[in-house]
Amino acid sequence: MTFRTLLARTFAAAALSTAAIAPLHAADDADTTGAVSAYVDDATITTKVKAALMKDKQLSALDVKVTTEKGVVMLSGTVETPDAGVRAIEIAASVEGVKDVKSALTVKAA
């Protein structure tokens, strides 16, 4: 086997192994990027919902906790009246990017 043949086979083997690995690496990057993007989007939605709740004078936004996962907002904590709970859900649902709103809100005892 000549040096040229050996060199050509080595480069061919390296090229083939790189071609086989590249799609796997790209798929891993896409999964990670999607997860990071979803996390950032959820954090943005949570912040927007909290800000919208703070603007509403009928609600004590400090007593309402907001979490978001995959665009679904979960409200928990306490509100003064049942109407305030409905209002909190309406406000959360109106925020851009919110896919659904789940509520675990409770009404404070009188």
14-71 pLDDT tens trace = 555 444 444 554 555 555 556 656 666 999 999 999 999 999 887 776 789 999 999 9
10 Å CB burial of residue 105 (0-12, 13-18, 19+) is buried
Pairing relation of β-strands 72-79 and 64-69?
Answer: antiparallel
**What is the domain extent for residue 32?**
3-107
CA 20 to chain centre: 31
Q: Return the bridge partners of 78, or none.
A: 106
68-107 pLDDT tens trace = 999 999 999 999 899 999 999 999 999 999 999 999 999 9
Number of domain units in the chain? 1
